C-alpha cells in the first residue's frame, strides 16, 4: 500500500501561494495607453517544489515548506518593494523629468512590463529560498486576463 505521495509515478509535489499588491508604472515607447502612468492590482502566484522526492509520504509534520515561510520571504523580497510604488525606467524618466519628485518612485534600468517584473522577481526570490525547495514558477497577473509567467528551464 502506498501513501498519497508516490515516488513511483514521478509526480511532482508543488506548493503555491498567492500575493496581491498595487503598483503604478508606464511603458516607455509603448504605442498605446500604457505609455502613460497607470496602476494595476497585481496578483503573484508563487510555486515551489521539493528537491527530494524519494518518500511515499512526507514525514511529520507532513509539509514540504511552511506556507508561512514562503509568505515572509515573498513579502520581504517582492511585495514590500512593489506595493504602492511607482516603477519607471530611466529612459522614461529622461523623457518625463517631472516624475522625479514622486516620493514612491523606483527607477529601473528596464521597462516595468509584466515580463521584466516577473524576471526581476524570480531572481530576487531564488536568491533567498531555503535549500529544501526550488522555485517552480511565478505567474504575475497584471489584469484578470493577462499574465506573464516564468518557468525554469528543464
Ligand atoms: N506583453 C505585454 N503587453 C502589455 C503589457 C505588458 O506588461 N506586457 N502591459 C500593458 C499595460 O501595462 C497594461 O497591462 C494594459 O492594461 P489594460 O489596458 O487593462 O489591458 P488590456 O489592453 O488587455 O485591456 P483592455 O481594456 O481590454 O484594452 C499593455 N500590454
Ligand atoms: Zn500597465
For position 53, what pLDDT does the model report?
A: 60
Of 69, 79, 75, the C-alpha closest to 129 is 69
| Domain assignment of residue 118, given as a range | 13-49+58-150
What is the average pLDDT across 7-24? 85
Q: How far is the CA of 95 from the centre of ligand 2 (A)?
A: 18
Confidence at 7, pLDDT banded by 50, 70, 90: very low
68 inside domain: yes
Ligand 1 binding pocket, CB closer than 6 Å = 27, 34, 113-115, 142-143, 146
Q: What is the count of structural domains for the chain?
A: 1
136 inside domain: yes
In eight-state DSSP terms, residue 13 is -
For position 50, what pLDDT does the model report?
A: 86
33 inside domain: yes
19 inside domain: yes
State yes or no: pLDDT of 119 exceeds 70: yes
Confidence at 122, pLDDT banded by 50, 70, 90: very high
State yes or no: pLDDT of 6 exceeds 90: no
What is the average pLDDT across 7-23? 84
20 inside domain: yes
Complex prediction ipTM: 0.91
5 inside domain: no
For position 62, what pLDDT does the model report?
A: 92
35 inside domain: yes
- CATH code (residue 21): 3.30.479.10
Q: Output the nine-digit C-alpha cell for 137.
A: 514558477
4 inside domain: no
Residue 54 to residue 4: CA distance in whole angstroms: 13
Q: How far is the CA of 42 from the centre of ligand 1 (A)?
A: 12
Residue 152 to residue 149: CA distance in whole angstroms: 10
Q: How far is the CA of 129 from the centre of ligand 1 (A)?
A: 30
**Distances 5 to 15, 65, 70, 110 between C-alpha atoms, Å:** 14, 15, 21, 42
In the sheet with 38-50, reading across from the earlier edge strand, the strands are 105-108, 85-89, 14-25, 38-50, 133-143, 146-150
Question: What's the pTM value of the predicted model, to 2 decimals?
Answer: 0.91
- With a CB cutoff of 8 Å and minimum separation 6, the contacts of 84 are 21, 22, 23, 104
143 burial level (CB within 10 Å; 0-12, 13-18, 19+): exposed
Amino acid at each position: 500500500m502506498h501513501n498519497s505521495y508516490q515516488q513511483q509515478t514521478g509526480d511532482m509535489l508543488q506548493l503555491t501561494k498567492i500575493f496581491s499588491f498595487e503598483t503604478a508604472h508606464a511603458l516607455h515607447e509603448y504605442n498605446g495607453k500604457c505609455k502613460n502612468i497607470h496602476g494595476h492590482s497585481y496578483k503573484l502566484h508563487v510555486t515551489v517544489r521539493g528537491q527530494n522526492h524519494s518518500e511515499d509520504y512526507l514525514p511529520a509534520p507532513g509539509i514540504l515548506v511552511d506556507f508561512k515561510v514562503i509568505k515572509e520571504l515573498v513579502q520581504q523580497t517582492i511585495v514590500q518593494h512593489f506595493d504602492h510604488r511607482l516603477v519607471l525606467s530611466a529612459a522614461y524618466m529622461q523623457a518625463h523629468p517631472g516624475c522625479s519628485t514622486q516620493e514612491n518612485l523606483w527607477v529601473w534600468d528596464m521597462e516595468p512590463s509584466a515580463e521584466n517584473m516577473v524576471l526581476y522577481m524570480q531572481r530576487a526570490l531564488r536568491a533567498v529560498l531555503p535549500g529544501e525547495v526550488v522555485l517552480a514558477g511565478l505567474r504575475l497577473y497584471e489584469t484578470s486576463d493577462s499574465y506573464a509567467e516564468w518557468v525554469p528551464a528543464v
